[in-house]
Amino acid sequence: MDNKVKIYIAILVLIFGITLLVDKGQPKPIDWTPTYSVEDKIPFGLYVFDQEADGIFKQKIERISTQTPYEYLDSQYDSRENVEKYKIKGSFMNISEVDNIDEGSMREILYFVSHGNNAFLSMKVFPKALLDSLKIELKTDFMPNDSISVWMANKKVSAKKYTFNTGLSDYFSKIDTLNTKVLGYQMNRKNEKQVNFIEVPYKNGHLYLHTQPVAFTNYNLLKKDYYQYAENVLSYIPKGNIFWYNKTFNDKRISSSPMRYIWSQPALKSAWYLGLLGILIFMIFNAKRKQRVVPIIKPLQNLTVDFTKTIGNLYYQEGDHTNIIDKKIIYFLEKIRTDYLLDTSKLDDDFITKLHYKTGKDEKDIRDVVQLINDHRNSYHGSLEEDLIKINTAIEKILH
């Protein structure tokens, strides 16, 4: 075995051993990404809420994950004359970190609510179309590691306060006090009381807007009795079917790369980098060129042009214009038969009319070329060069 290969293998084994020693006993890092996905068991996923949702609502829950709210609700709308209403009735629900509802879907949700239904939205950033329609404003205060106390406005529902370590304090800074009912409050370390849960009537239905979706995450639902706050908030949703849109905003950011699974697993990621390092070392040790110089092979010459020039020179030297005209006529008539499926055995007025309709060419130009062809065929003397030019020009007008 070559010495270079031995060195190469030794380096790889050494690196592999060091990697194993470094990774041995290392705890798996906690992923604090706020995915709000029902499939994630990480702190800010909704796996626990998804598992308990049927018990919380005790009504039918329709989970919407493969369609947008617009696609789903629009498919449930009966647009027949004198009907024009939804086939379903209940409450639309969405829990997410930020706005994951497009403008078209938001307008469809408002239309759904206007038909006597409801919508519960718990998110930190609400769709602009919704805020504009309800004439409310949302404000965000950022304080690192900020602790926020939350509680229900109605003491009969619950008088207990709960503390969330969110780092963000989102609240409604402007609402229509005549039509909007405050359902919940929050207070940060500055002792500022802020509205975080409201009920807004909209035509024949109601919207329930909540700014602390962290209350429904795995981290908080498994923390002492914090699940009670989530139940208190959800208790305001009227009885009826629930249509839960659980396609999170982060779903749009999931990479479509085939390497995404490798990047998500620390062991596979380390193995991938180790493999790349091994390839790099191999390239360094094999940098010396071993392949022979590839000879330059000249491409074959295109002899078609030379052949055409040779044939053209022969005709020119012979001066046989009649032969050339005959071949031009044969080619022209064959083109007419092939492209337009016309009979060329008799070149009369009927042929001229049909060719005019088929090609859209000027009837006078067609008549001229037919006249030249017939004159040539009926002529008993040799054709001159100017006759060749005339008939060639006339044919070109028809074919181009």
Q: Are residues 111 and 196 in the same domain?
A: yes
pLDDT at 267: 72
Q: Are residues 17 and 55 in the same domain?
A: no
The CB density around residue 111, as the number of other CB atoms within 10 Å, is 18
> Does residue 40 sit within a domain?
no
Q: Are residues 240 and 325 in the same domain?
A: no
> Does residue 33 sit within a domain?
no
- 359 and 342 Cβ atoms separated by less than 8 Å: no
> Does residue 14 sit within a domain?
yes
pLDDT at 7: 75
Q: Are residues 238 and 143 in the same domain?
A: yes
- 149 and 186 Cβ atoms separated by less than 8 Å: yes
Examine the fold and report which residue of 210, 235, 253 is the final residue of a domain before the chain moves on. Answer: 253
- Find where tokens 């049909």 sit: 354
Q: Are residues 313 and 271 in the same domain?
A: no
Q: Are residues 16 and 160 in the same domain?
A: no
Q: Are residues 146 and 243 in the same domain?
A: yes
> Does residue 246 sit within a domain?
yes
Closest residue by Cα to residue 209 from 107, 120, 98, 97: 120
- What's the domain range around 77? 47-253
DSSP secondary structure string, 290-306? -SPPPPPPPPPP--HHH
Indicate if the alpha-carbon torsion angle 175, 178, 183, 184 is positive or negative.
positive
pLDDT at 356: 87
Q: Are residues 167 and 216 in the same domain?
A: yes
> Does residue 37 sit within a domain?
no
Q: Are residues 249 and 262 in the same domain?
A: no
pLDDT at 252: 46
How many structural domains comprise the chain? Answer: 3
pLDDT at 168: 62
Q: Are residues 112 and 99 in the same domain?
A: yes
pLDDT at 75: 94
Tokens of 312: 């053209």
Tens-of-pLDDT digits for all 400 residues of the chain? 567 667 777 777 777 777 667 666 667 778 888 889 999 999 999 999 999 998 888 788 999 988 999 999 999 999 888 888 999 999 999 999 888 899 999 999 999 999 999 999 999 889 998 999 999 999 887 655 567 889 999 999 999 999 887 656 789 999 988 899 999 999 877 788 999 999 999 999 999 999 999 999 999 999 889 999 999 999 999 999 999 998 764 444 455 566 766 766 777 777 787 788 778 777 776 666 566 677 888 877 766 666 666 666 666 666 677 778 888 888 888 888 888 888 888 888 888 888 888 888 888 888 988 888 888 888 755 567 787 788 888 888 888 7
pLDDT at 290: 61
